[in-house]
Amino acid sequence: MITLAQIGCGYWGPNLLRNFTALPEAHVKYVVEASEDRRRYVRENFPHTTAVPDLDPVLADPSVQAVLVATPAGSHFALALQCLKAGKHTFVEKPLAMSVAEVDRLAAEATRRGLTLMAGHTFLYNPAVLALKALVDSGELGRIYYIYTQRLNLGVVRADVNALWNLAPHDVSICNFLLGAAPVAVTAHGTAYLQPGIEDVVFAHLEYPGEIRASIHVSWLDPNKTRKVTLVGSRKMVVYDDVAADKLTIYDKGIDSVLTAPLPGPLPFDQPGAHRLIYRSGEIQRPRLSEAEPLCEVARDFLSAIAEGHSPRADAASARPVVAALQAATLSLKENSRRVALAEILAASVS
């Protein structure tokens, strides 16, 4: 059994605590929480876990092998580094850190000490995303043209980070996972309506190798809860709707360019009638998916990585380009939506 501690039990922390507590191979010995109300919540709902107000007992307890960090994003780096230096395997809610330089520092510390470092990119364990990944990799969708995502709701409004850092880590991690690549450049547009300097709505446009584009729309000022990923390929198109009963819908739709008559020699572009566009609309499929809870699979992967010494799916290497893209988008927002190459961000991280 692996003994853990958790830092933070606010908005997302209870979900982590519930899933790790439910696994027989884990024991959450402590929850660190400054709020007395939240400590009372832990005592009333998780009687085998001790709620404490500060981190010192956790770091000093040699029986604690791993720590779960579920605090505001700006505190992730400092807390994770503290835990790693204390010799604890460390899981950090998304984003792993607020800069590539911070991610690299954490990764180096974990490697030096032989510790597992994992980011909370839950959607990499989502059955619908995994099924979509299998469709992309099989070639069934054809050439991937573009992806667009929508992660919208009315609230929760944050004061520590903008909607980009609060919501977009999920969508960037999904796009990177599906395409098996990191973006090469990012352009972002956003507006702060409620709080100066904190964008409530952001549109980020990511450029991937092979002329693939991804557009990410995040907002906490939208009338409806929307959690949707649309992927358009040359053969088929897929919609992943996380709030729908049928999470995945595959459309056998597309537009084919057909040569109408075999012509000798090179075909000039202005040759009338040489090519014809055919609109194709076939069947619609809604595949049956596993009902496994993604966060439970996250917990299993973290514990397995510790016990068996393998790298988790959502490791620091996969989190790094997510943070790089968010950094690039942040710079684009600050500089009048300038196109920012990720090479610029990565070069600055080692300077």
Q: Is pLDDT at 134 greater than 80 in this prediction?
A: yes
Domain with CATH 3.30.360.10 in the chain: 124-285
**343 contacts 321 by C-beta, under 8 angstroms:** no
Phi and psi, residue 191, nearest 5°: -140, 140
Inform me whether the pLDDT recorded for 351 exceeds 80. Answer: no
Summarize the confidence of residues 236-259 as an average pLDDT.
90
Judge whether residue 148 has pLDDT over 60.
Answer: yes
Architecture of domain 2-121+294-312: 3-Layer(aba) Sandwich (3.40)
The answer to whether the CB of 51 falls within 8 A of the CB of 31 is yes
Q: What is the pLDDT of residues 105-121, one digit of tens each?
A: 999 999 999 999 999 99
As a whole number, the mean pLDDT across the chain is 94
**Structure token digits, residue 304:** 């397995």
The listed CATH number (3.30.360.10, 3.40.50.2000, 3.40.50.300, 2.20.25.190) that belongs to domain 124-285:
3.30.360.10
121 vs 103: CA distance, rounded Å: 14
Residue type for position 137: D
High-pLDDT (> 70) share of the chain, %: 95
Q: Is the pLDDT of residue 261 over 80?
A: no
Instruction: Give the angle subtended at the CA of 176 by the CAs of 343 and 157, to the nearest 5°.
Output: 95
What is the residue whose two structure tokens read 């990944």? 133
Closest CA to 233 of 175, 148, 146: 146
User: Is the Cα torsion angle 118, 122, 127, 129 positive or negative in sign?
Assistant: negative
Which has the closest alpha carbon to 120: 154, 82, 76, 54? 76
> Is the pLDDT reported for residue 258 higher than 80?
no
> 259: pLDDT confidence band, cut at 50, 70 and 90?
low
Q: What's residue 255's pLDDT? A: 83
CA distance 119 to 122: 9
Question: Counting every residue, how long is the chain?
Answer: 351
Confidence of residue 349 (pLDDT cuts 50, 70, 90): confident
| Sign, Cα dihedral of 130, 135, 136, 137 | positive
| CATH 3.40.50.720 domain residues, the chain | 2-121+294-312
- pLDDT of amino acid 265: 58
The residue-averaged pLDDT of 203-208 equals: 98
For the chain, the C-alpha Rg in angstroms (whole number) is 23
Name, in order, each residue with C-beta under 8 angstroms of 103's C-beta and a sequence gap of 6 or more. Answer: 96, 97, 316, 319, 320, 323
pLDDT of amino acid 274: 64
- CA–CA gap between residue 332 and residue 285 (Å, rounded): 39
